[in-house]
Amino acid sequence: MGEEFANGINARFFETSAKDDINVNEVFKHMLCEIKKFVDWIGDNAGIIIKQSKVKGTKNFMHLIDKRQ
């Protein structure tokens, strides 16, 4: 997901700069949309990510996620 996020920003930047000689507002709007999608994806998948991780102390975080939902 992180690589897809970065590639989306890069593609949009080059597409915008080629058309409009770098329309900075459009690039930043797109970046914010991509950041929001990425943050939403993390929020939707946080429980799965933490459950699958082998990080010591994972159980300490599970009660926070369960309460949030």
Range of the domain at 32: 2-68
Residue type, 38: F
Give the CA angle between residues 24, 25, 30 to the nearest 5°: 100
Each residue's pLDDT tens digit, 8-17? 666 666 665 5
pTM: 0.41
Say if residues 9 and 34 touch (Cβ distance below 8 Å).
yes
Is it the case that residue 2 has pLDDT exceeding 60?
A: no
**What is the count of structural domains for the chain?**
1
